[in-house]
Amino acid sequence: MAGDIRHQGVVDMIDGHTVVVRITQDAACGGCHAKDICHAAGSREKLVEVSGTDAGNLSVGQTVTVSGSESVGMKAVWIAFGLPLLLMFVVLLTAILLGGSEKTAALIAIGVLVPYYIVVYLFRERLKRVFQFRIIG
């Protein structure tokens, strides 16, 4: 499908209609000739939970392609990075305009992230329904 984000992975676990796929995200500089001595190069493994999948024809260790829509990926980036940055900026400006010192305003702006991420954590089940992946093959 157009506008999809796809990653190859290996089936790590199957539990009923839920399949956990381990994907490896390689760094963009993975093909560089200096990657062995550069600390920026590397790869990270991620576990992706795919719910509502007919796991009858899948087995642990099988290579599959996991797909998610690009718009859902952008929503995830917005929730994880965009909204917190915007929230920090608004709180910082408000605290400074209300007469607080820059140090206090900065601490309050950073501190506002704690309740933000607690709320995100509390809504994790609802977010799981929004951020759905599917197994292509």
17-62 residue pLDDT tens: 788 888 876 655 555 655 555 544 455 788 888 887 666 778 888 8
| Confidence band of 3 (pLDDT split at 50, 70, 90) | confident
Q: Is 49 helix (H, G, I), strand (E, B) or coil?
A: strand
Q: Which domain holds residue 104?
A: 4-135
Number of domains in the chain: 1
Query: Considering the entire predicted model, what is its pTM?
Result: 0.66
Q: Residue 116 is part of a domain; what is its CATH number?
A: 2.40.50
pLDDT of residue 33: 55
pLDDT of residue 35: 52
